[in-house]
Structure 1
Amino acid sequence: MTNSTVWNHVDEYFLEKLIPVDRKLEAVLQANKVAGIPEIDVSPTQGMLLYLLAKVKGAKNILEIGTLGGYSSLWLARSLPKEGKVYTLEINPEYASLAKQNIKDSGYENKVEIIVGNALDTLPTLKNAAPAFDFIFIDADKPNNPDYLKWAIQLANPGAVIVADNVVRNGEVIDENSEDERIQGVRQFMDLLKEETQIESTAIQTVGTKGYDGFVLAIVK
């Protein structure tokens, strides 16, 4: 078997053993597929990881940069206590509209606020309009990752957890000469993490149904 085949089988095994079938979450993925949204959501095992990290943190206010169809938003919303809320940012109005319907159909419309627009325009509005955040998930356009990190630091409570997805890029992150602006965005993001004294961080490489990739896990001092 190829590596990717093994990775898929192992993911399926973990799903069977650890993550119960959830019809509402499956319905979101199906709705996204029918709508033609790129199938780049987190996997179920990754969604569960976000849920567990936010729950361990005891997060009440969560910021997500990059909504897509709302699949990861729902995983995060499920981690919240009664009074908690997810603020999620999406640049594409059509994706945001579908995410809104998906979230409503799942019964979490009171837990999730979708903010439509370019995140670098909408992030400044959160400084006074929303509480500081306990958990921040960065999963949007990679060239802007450095700016998203700068805003995350400004909007975070001390001790906040920051997770950034897709930082390995099938190993291409180590190519300093890459002409791919996504690769360079992640590399600049890493350079910023290295220099930023307010953050402690690590990176985890992952394999599975989403191929070979990884994420950054950080805590704001």
Structure 2
Amino acid sequence: MQRQDWAAVDDHLARALLPADEVLEQVLEENRAAGLPPIDVSPLQGAFLTLLARITGARRVLEIGTLGGYSTIHLARGLGDGGRLVSLEFEPRHAEVARRNVERAGLTGVVDVRVGAALDTLPVLEREGAGPFDLVFIDADKGGYPQYLQWAVRLSRPGAVLVGDNVVRGGRLVDPAADDPGVRGVRTFLDAVGAHPRLTATALQTVGAKGWDGFAIALVD
């Protein structure tokens, strides 16, 4: 099968399983119109995030990497009553688009989008007592994944779930010639997850409209 077949299967699954959602379609259109890179999670992956938040009973969620807020909205929709989501975004323009999208989704009172380098913002969250978090979704610059992991564990309660997106990198994860910062960051991240005494983890490869990639998922002990 080729990539176009993966995308066709994604489309079929989405039509079969996901209800039409005008808000989410508008969010993606807003992101395109604003010139944001088309690297949002797929609709099926977004629905997985919603289900994961619901399955875990999450009431406090941390997202590292907002982009235009598409994954943010999916996560926020899975929160329990009184739940809160903090999303960290480096690019002010992306955060501005995300805030508009969150407002469009009726989630302004639930989602807090913060602008700045995550490694500057995460210590602020700790000082504020924003955690402990029940679910952490890491989907930002891959070179920063190892440090984001340290903070994710530090700010999470026992029993929390951590998800790291884009960890297969189109197979470059195992390509010895691939030595860019993103691949190096993901390799170090995965090694750190596997060696961490408080984490029990696995990883799944995915194919679909987003190509060949995958995510790591870990339970904090």
- TM-score category of the 2 structures, normalised to the smaller one: over 0.9
8 Å Cα contact 2:131-2:156 kept in structure 1: no
Aligned position for 1:216: 216
Aligned position for 1:107: 106
Aligned position for 1:73: 72
Partner SS for 1:107: coil
Q: CA RMSD in A?
A: 0.8
Aligned position for 1:97: 96
Q: Distance in 2 between matches of 1:160 and 1:176?
A: 33
Alignment-mate amino acid for residue 142 of structure 1: K
Partner SS for 2:37: coil
Percent same amino acid at aligned positions? 48
Q: Distance in 2 between matches of 1:138 and 1:176?
A: 25
Instruction: Work out whether 1:13 is the aligned partner of 2:19.
Output: no
Structure 2, unpaired ranges of 5+: none
Aligned position for 2:144: 144
Q: Distance in 1 between matches of 2:181 and 2:147?
A: 14
Q: TM-score of the superposition, structure 2-length normalised?
A: 0.98
- Matched positions, count: 220
Structure 1, unpaired ranges of 5+: none
Alignment-mate amino acid for residue 192 of structure 2: L
8 Å Cα contact 1:167-1:216 kept in structure 2: yes
Alignment-mate amino acid for residue 211 of structure 1: G
Instruction: Work out whether 1:54 is the aligned partner of 2:56.
Output: no
Aligned position for 1:82: 81
Aligned position for 2:192: 192
Alignment-mate amino acid for residue 135 of structure 1: L
Q: Distance in 1 between matches of 2:96 and 2:32?
A: 14
Alignment-mate amino acid for residue 186 of structure 1: V
Q: TM-score of the superposition, structure 1-length normalised?
A: 0.98
Between 124-133 and 19-28, the greater mean CA deviation after superposition: 124-133
Partner SS for 1:207: strand
